[in-house]
Amino acid sequence: MNDDTNKFLKEIKEVLEIVNSKVKMLESSQRLTSHQITFIKDQQSVMNEKLTEHTDKLDALMAETLDMHQQVGAIWDRISLESDENAKQIKEIKQHVGLPTNPNYPLD
């Protein structure tokens, strides 16, 4: 082989070494990225499980809250009805006994 051929082969080897080095860096980077993605997927699975648990708890609490709201509404309706009945009875008693009534007082 002549000097030109040797020189050309040497240049090709140098370029190949650079390319080989860069390919190894890319492979290393790709492996790291792959591990990071796997780690993120694992974390996401845990977070999804926790989110499902919290969603179930919130759904149960919402159902209980709606039930309590209905109960409070029913109690309020009953108290209002009893209050109206009590006001009527007080007014009747005052009229029967002859006591004056005050129009500004809600029970009269």
Q: What is the pLDDT of residues 17-74, one digit of tens each?
A: 999 999 999 999 999 999 999 999 999 999 999 999 999 999 999 999 999 999 999 9
For residue 93, is it within any domain? Answer: yes
For residue 105, is it within any domain? Answer: no
Q: How many domains does the chain have?
A: 1
Q: Is the pLDDT of residue 104 over 80?
A: no
Which residue range forms the structural domain that includes residue 80? 1-100
Measured CA distances, 42 to 28, 34, 36, 45 (Å): 21, 12, 10, 5
Comparison of pLDDT for 51 and 107, the residue scoring more: 51
For residue 92, is it within any domain? Answer: yes
Sign for the CA dihedral angle at 99, 101, 102, 106 comes to positive
For residue 107, is it within any domain? Answer: no
Q: How far apart are CA 26 and CA 24, in angstroms?
A: 5
For residue 108, is it within any domain? Answer: no
- Predicted TM-score (pTM) of the model is 0.52
